[in-house]
Amino acid sequence: MRASPFIAILALLLSAVPLHAAARTCNIAIASDDAMKFDQSELHVAADCSKVTLTLTHTGGMPAEIMGHNWVLSKTADVNALATAGGKAGAQAHYVPPGDARVIAHTKVIGGGESTTVTFSTAGLSKGGDYTFFCSFPGHWAIMKGTFVFG
């Protein structure tokens, strides 16, 4: 039995349409140093990125206990409270309050010559939302921060 032309055309059209969008992981890198600075003040991630892999490199020479840095992402409105809570969480928690839903993503604290990577989903981010990345090592967050642009 031969298929009708309508069924053949419908099958052809459906085969050309993906059932789901392909996941795309976008890679970004940022560096920090012994002068308490990130090398970028703004990071951009395209809206079609479903995941982000961020690599933080500490280009300085001082150990993590003295001049450690991490990378934390949150809504801008949450930065001050998170930085304070991170200080209370202490070094063992990488100065990030464990389980805090305000933290979108974070790395561990690293010292000079070290690198660390974190991969996170963008599912909870809003295109054009107000996001800030910062170092939550005590005293650093006031100057070590920048804008995270999604979209």
Question: How many of the other CB atoms lie within 10 Å of CB of 35?
Answer: 10
What lies within 8 Å, CB to CB, of 116 at 6+ separation is 55, 56, 70, 107, 108, 110
**Chain centroid offset of residue 122 CA:** 8
Give the mean model confidence (pLDDT) for residues 34-62: 98
Q: How many residues would you count in the chain?
A: 151
What pTM was estimated for this model as a whole? 0.85
Q: CA-to-CA distance for 92 and 111, rounded, in angstroms?
A: 14
User: Percent helix, strand, coil in the chain (nearest 5)?
Assistant: 20, 30, 45
If you average pLDDT over every residue of the chain, what do you get?
Answer: 91
Q: What angle do CA 98, 117, 102 make, to 5 degrees?
A: 30
Is the model more confident about 4 or about 10? 4
Which CATH number does 21-150 carry?
A: 2.60.40.420
Q: Does 151 have pLDDT greater than 50? A: yes
What pLDDT is recorded for position 53?
98
Residue 73, amino acid: L
What would the pLDDT profile of 121-149 be if each residue is shown by its tens digit? 999 999 999 999 999 999 999 999 999 99
What pLDDT is recorded for position 17?
41
What lies within 8 Å, CB to CB, of 149 at 6+ separation is 42, 43, 44, 45, 131
Give the mean model confidence (pLDDT) for residues 53-60: 98
